[in-house]
Amino acid sequence: MRALRIAAWAEAVSLVILLVNLLTTHTKAVATIVGPLHGMAYLVVVATTLLARTDASPSARWFAVVPGIGGLLAMWRDQTSRPAR
């Protein structure tokens, strides 16, 4: 769960950085550095949800493949689908 949380936040933050860069200065260096980090965070989110989380709900697995915010959606769905203790 910790790896999913870290990767989901990295995916969301890197997306914000890329969009802000696109809308403002459009610096190629930022896109060159942050773009691959965003892609790797996305792959980690998908792999973590699909492979490591065997108790993840099917909807959380589908949410994980949504680019950009899928990791946060999968974490939210996984938390809401668990019964209260």
Name the domain count of the chain.
1
Which residues constitute the domain of residue 20? 2-81
On average, the pLDDT of the chain sits at 88
Distance between CA 27 and CA 45 in Å, rounded? 27
Q: Of the candidates 34, 35, 53, 40, which has an alpha carbon nearest to the alpha carbon of residue 8?
A: 40
pTM for the whole structure: 0.84
pLDDT confidence band for 60 (50 / 70 / 90): confident
